[in-house]
Amino acid sequence: MEIHITKDAVVVTIGILFFIWGIAVFLFGRITVKHIETEMAKEGILPPEWDKGIGTRGATYALIILFPKLNPTILDAKATRRYMRKKDFYLALFVQSSFAVCMIVMSIGYYLYAPDS
């Protein structure tokens, strides 16, 4: 029995996974990043000025939460770990895993259906 994966099925799957990743990024930003930065502000630690509108600190917070030995210089890793909660870990895992799955499926789709040049 052969399995036939059509181009349309891959495109729809990528679209759904991209949407799920977008929801994960939104929830992580609204719940975790907001909580951590509010607690850090009470301590007098402000978010970096260079990240206004770029959004790099959201991904960095997720990596700090998931990997305890990671100590990036762009954010205060000790304060991030001090203020993270259990649900922040699960949201960070949701963001990073949904991104990884989306990229894997996109790579497979590109490998299967990229135009020959």
Candidates 55, 65, 68, 67; CA nearest to 29 is: 55
End-to-end CA distance of the chain: 31
Q: Tell me the residue length of the chain.
A: 117
pLDDT of residue 17: 97
Each residue's pLDDT expressed in tens, for the chain with a length of 117 residues: 677 778 888 889 999 999 999 999 999 999 999 999 999 999 999 888 887 777 788 999 999 999 988 888 888 899 999 999 999 999 999 999 999 999 999 999 899 888 876
**For the chain, what are the domain ranges?**
7-113
Question: What's the gap between Cα 114 and its chain centre?
Answer: 26
| pTM of the complete model | 0.87
